[in-house]
Amino acid sequence: MELKPYQQKVILDLDAFLGYLQKYKKTDRAFNQFWEDRIGPYNPLVGQGMEPYKNTIANAAHVCIKVPTAGGKTFIACNALHTIFSHYPDLMPKMVVWLVPWSNLLGQTVANLSNPDHPYRQKLNSLFNHRVAVYEQKDLRQAAGFNPAVVKEQLSILVMSFASLRARNKEDRKVYQENGYLAPFASQYVTRADLMDDVDETALINVIRTMQPVVVVDESHNAESALSVDMLKALNPSFVLDLTATPKNNSNIISLVPAIELKKENMVKLPVIVYNHHDKTQVISSALHLQRKLELLATEQEQKGGPYIRPIVLFQAQPRTGEENVSYERLKQQLLQLGIPENQVKIKTATLDELKGEDLLSRKCAVRYIITVNALKEGWDCPFAYVLASLADKSSAVDVEQILGRVLRQPYVRKQSAPLLNVSYVLTASAKFNDTLQNIVKGLQSAGFSSRDYREVDLMTEREEQALRYSNGKQLTPDLAMDAHEEPDIDIGSISFNHDLPGDILAEDKVVADIQAIADEQAKAMEQVISRQKLQPADDRIFEEMGDKVKRYRMSELHRDTVADIKLPQFHLHVPQNTLFGTGLELLSQEPLLRNFKLSSEDIKIDFEQIASDLYRVDIEETGYSQYDARFTRIEEAMIKEPVVTYILSKPQENRVKDIAHQLIRIIGDMYPIPDQEIRIYIERILGSLDAEQLQDILLRKQSYADKIKLKIKQHADAYAEERFNDLIKIGKVVTQPAWHFSEMIVPGITGASISKSLYEREGAMNDFETSVIETISALPNISFWHRNLGRGKGFCINGYQSNHYPDFIVGTRLGRIVLIETKGDDRDNSDSQAKCRLGNKWEELAGDSFRYFMVFNQKQLAGAYTKDRARELIREL
């Protein structure tokens, strides 16, 4: 299981933030600068920019990742641990406290992280060299497989509930009690500064505190109270990573995932079709017919080679004060009266759980209808749940927000062939439908989505609404309405549904036919939105999600008409014809170019002679006012503990190489699309060719060696990709197509100097050489406009065998030619510049007569590039 592109973007954002932390040392300054560079400085008067860092956990870097429900938060966290610890010193124990809000989520998390066949554990094993242990609190209290020796060698994950640290009962308070089993830790890690006052040094809480753990807070919106903050402080963390779909006001967000990204990757069933019926009887009838319709489509899809899907309806029954069980038990009996087999109907409430032991995804499971009341706690979900049918009292607004997320997950994370299987459904009979819609919006928002993600139809007439709102001349409140109806107002006899009839001859339900037409139309509309967004830079979609926080600069009215129809060509790859794509072309990335690349067989010749020490560690330093902050500072070679080096070098050759390779891989990080295993084999080949003295030097200066190896890997990959790229151009498989257009507004972050003829109100920041080049070029009489092309994730990229070629400037001439300019200081005439120059010139060759490319140096000049003066003279003639 690999990261989806949006998940990879989250990890890159986290790594970038840690880089800022490395550079600026103080967490608040790193966070503030991280966002200022992306979206500009914070302006409290108008609410633009990211609010400054909130230092709620004074001795830790405390940041948040916002990911909608079904976005794979846990898998992101598994990968994030590797990224975080790659910035830590090897001597620091890799201790993680993974906090969850509820006991059912705790069991689920422990099971998934512990199961060697689960993708979460498989990823952890891959990232941490199969040295991973997952514990519950009781395991650590008894020191089961937990001692100072193993902690040094592995990633240790302790999964705990919030209640465990809030110590509300005797069992939970054991974390604060003296514990002889943990006495060995006292001499290994415990220092008086880390100990909690009036708590024995052998208590589990103190053992955790001395290891300054990384804390992962799942569903962190449940941990914002003062009591929850105290809970986090009690752990003495060095780093806190919040995971939530709905960050609170005191969250320090470093990455956020727009909801459309989940739809694009087929993670969710959107939009939600909301259909308001005349009465509850129609709700049940439509739910039954819709389930049958969806199941027929699923069966047809499976017969054509698709996956197994058994669509499920969630019935939200009416709660009744003092006799809650009557309502949902009665509903179950009514469904059984319609001939539905009992094994297809289950009740799931706070007091009755008939789903226990059921594997809802199994073919052997018969469940098609689940009855609940008001809330299914987060942590329970099933991708087969498609329909939420609410039978809450029709004279009130329907409270669906807490269970709406249960029908959003897409089965198998893939697009289904039938459009109806790619959306989800809410069926209601509410006289207060507008209020119900607001609750649906709240439900979507609590799952990380928005009001853009649903479509509604209201069948109820104004007269029906009035009749439901009033009885005997007085308005009914929801409570009075419950008391007024001793029996549910459901007419089973009028439901024309025969479970025993084959689905293909079951009478067509008119409402379901209407719902189908709406779902088909909305599914197509959503696909069009996705197609448009695929052409947008990733950061643009994130900035849309951030709304007014982002300072945007508009395109100049003077140039709007000039650039309206301009589309810059990008490289596209011919793919097998597919109805989902239509054209048979997709935007080229490095991934298909490296499909057959075998790094493990490439040469391992690397010059390690000029290596400079470049090691870092996390150091907790006093920052004033008795506060502490996580800081990254250099480690001098003399500070490395010789016993650690001696210990590793004393191992047999094979184990020694594997240990050092693993440490280097941690620093190098992900190099997608090159598989981790290929990188591991390549590094082990390098290390296997070195002697003991060289291996010792690597242990002392891992960062510098890792940088050298990473550069070599990139050179190999780029060379292979370039060769494949040229082959595909030769045979006509790679072509240029008009694709990228200028946005109406840009988000440059930090802005540069104001220079005439700029395309936007303000342009992005520039260094001195860049400023001098564009001042010279823009002053030419034949130049119409210029634009400071924004960097990764924002601007125009010449895609190809290099994944990061964003030319510095896009210039337009009065005769309609577009000129791309890439500036290079005279110290940059290296292999990377040469490769970009070749790519830029190849783009010019294939883009057409209207497009030009210049790589510009000040005085120096490599093949295919120009000096500043020469470029100016040639551009003057265009």
Statement: residue 158 has pLDDT above 90: yes
> Which residues, listed in sequence order, are joined to residue 454 by a DSSP beta bridge?
272
In order of start, what are the domains of the chain with their CATH numbers?
5-257 (3.40.50.300), 269-531 (3.40.50), 599-613+636-727 (no CATH), 741-876 (3.40.1350)
Burial of 735 (C-beta count, 10 Å sphere; 0-12/13-18/19+): middle
For the segment 271-299, the average pLDDT, to the nearest whole number, is 88
pLDDT tens, position by position, 299-358: 999 999 999 999 999 998 765 544 444 477 888 888 898 889 999 999 887 778 888 888
pLDDT tens, position by position, 650-673: 667 777 888 888 888 878 877 878
Read off the pTM. Answer: 0.74
In contact, 267 and 273? CB cutoff 8 Å? no
- The set of residues, in sequence order, having a beta carbon less than 8 Å from that of 582 and lying 6+ positions away, is none
Token pair of 745 as six digits: 């507004």
> Residue 536's pLDDT is what?
65
Mean of pLDDT over the chain: 81
| Among candidate residues 642, 644, 637, the one with its CA nearest the CA of residue 701 | 637
> Residue 641's pLDDT is what?
46
What is the C-alpha separation between 698 and 608, in angstroms, rounded?
10
Token pair of 765 as six digits: 């920041």
> Residue 582's pLDDT is what?
44
pLDDT tens, position by position, 104-143: 788 889 999 999 999 999 999 988 889 999 998 888 888 8
What is the C-alpha separation between 751 and 748, in angstroms, rounded?
6
- The set of residues, in sequence order, having a beta carbon less than 8 Å from that of 697 and lying 6+ positions away, is 611, 705
> Residue 621's pLDDT is what?
39
Residue 469 pLDDT class (50, 70, 90 cuts): low
Statement: residue 474 has pLDDT above 50: no
User: In this predicted model, which residue has the larger pLDDT, 188 or 696?
Assistant: 696
pLDDT tens, position by position, 236-272: 999 999 998 888 878 999 999 888 888 888 888 888 8
Report how far apart, in Å, the C-alpha atoms of 207 and of each of 132, 139, 140, 216, 768 are. Answer: 19, 14, 10, 18, 53
> Residue 683's pLDDT is what?
94
User: In this predicted model, which residue has the larger pLDDT, 774 or 127?
Assistant: 774
Statement: residue 616 has pLDDT above 50: no
What is the C-alpha separation between 36 and 20, in angstroms, rounded?
12
> Hey, is 406 helix, strand or coil?
helix
Statement: residue 620 has pLDDT above 90: no
> Residue 199's pLDDT is what?
82
For the segment 173-184, the average pLDDT, to the nearest whole number, is 82
For the segment 753-763, the average pLDDT, to the nearest whole number, is 93
> Residue 638's pLDDT is what?
36
In contact, 428 and 398? CB cutoff 8 Å? yes
Burial of 453 (C-beta count, 10 Å sphere; 0-12/13-18/19+): buried
| Among candidate residues 213, 236, 76, the one with its CA nearest the CA of residue 135 | 213
Statement: residue 808 has pLDDT above 50: yes
How many CB atoms lie under 10 A from the CB of residue 172?
A: 17
In contact, 679 and 668? CB cutoff 8 Å? yes
Residue 648 pLDDT class (50, 70, 90 cuts): low
> Residue 669's pLDDT is what?
77
User: In this predicted model, which residue has the larger pLDDT, 647 or 518?
Assistant: 518
> Residue 2's pLDDT is what?
80
In contact, 186 and 202? CB cutoff 8 Å? yes
Within 13 Å and on the Cβ side, how many CA atoms surround 676? 22
Statement: residue 232 has pLDDT above 50: yes
User: Angle 676-688/702-730 helices, nearest 10 degrees?
Assistant: 120
Strands 474-475 and 369-372: unpaired
For the segment 178-201, the average pLDDT, to the nearest whole number, is 76
Residue 485 pLDDT class (50, 70, 90 cuts): very low
Statement: residue 646 has pLDDT above 80: no
What is the C-alpha separation between 332 and 340, in angstroms, rounded?
10
Rounded to the nearest 10 degrees, how much is the dihedral formed by the CA atoms of 602, 605, 610, 614? 30
For the segment 835-856, the average pLDDT, to the nearest whole number, is 95
- The set of residues, in sequence order, having a beta carbon less than 8 Å from that of 603 and lying 6+ positions away, is 716
Rounded to the nearest 10 degrees, how much is the dihedral formed by the CA atoms of 229, 235, 236, 238? -90
> Residue 482's pLDDT is what?
37
User: Angle 692-700/702-730 helices, nearest 10 degrees?
Assistant: 100
For the segment 489-497, the average pLDDT, to the nearest whole number, is 75
| Among candidate residues 455, 431, 451, 434, the one with its CA nearest the CA of residue 443 | 451
Give the residue ranges of DSSP H helices in 101-215.
Answer: 103-114, 119-127, 137-141, 148-153, 162-166, 183-188, 204-210
- The set of residues, in sequence order, having a beta carbon less than 8 Å from that of 742 and lying 6+ positions away, is 555, 563, 566, 759, 787
For the segment 489-493, the average pLDDT, to the nearest whole number, is 73
| Among candidate residues 708, 771, 784, the one with its CA nearest the CA of residue 742 | 784
